[in-house]
């Protein structure tokens, strides 16, 4: 069903890309470590591959399927790592303790 020539194929690909973007936000919320984003992204896509393999009773062989998933893996990892690194690189406030009059 994934293909550039048909509207359902393009819609499915856009759904995969939007899913990658929302999963990148989930990496920010759940993982919060830039170094672990690639690991979790590859793990999620590997489990998706296994699920597709079991559901269809055959290994995915369509080139468009692999291209879409490689692009989605790269998007999810890169955007997730970028968002996590922005949180990690924030300045640590040094004056956060309440001031006392001594």
Is the model's pLDDT at 98 over the cut of 70? no
Give whole-number Cα distances, 60 to 39, 48, 51, 64, in Å: 22, 11, 11, 10
Report the SS3 class of residue 99: coil
Q: 26-60 pLDDT, tens per residue?
A: 998 998 888 899 999 999 999 999 999 999 999 99
Is the model's pLDDT at 100 over the cut of 70? no
Is the model's pLDDT at 5 over the cut of 90? no
- Reading the block at residue 101, the tokens are 């009059």
Residue length of the chain: 102
């Amino acid at each position: 069903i994934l293909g550039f020539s048909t509207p359902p194929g393009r819609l499915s690909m856009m759904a995969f890309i939007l899913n990658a973007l929302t999963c990148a936000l989930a990496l920010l919320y759940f993982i919060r470590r830039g170094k672990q984003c690639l690991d979790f992204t590859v793990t999620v896509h590997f489990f998706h591959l296994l699920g597709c393999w079991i559901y269809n009773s055959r290994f995915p062989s369509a080139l468009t399927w692999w291209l879409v998933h490689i692009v989605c893996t790269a998007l999810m990892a890169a955007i997730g790592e970028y968002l996590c690194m922005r949180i990690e690189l924030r300045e640590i406030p040094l004056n956060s303790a309440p001031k006392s009059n001594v």
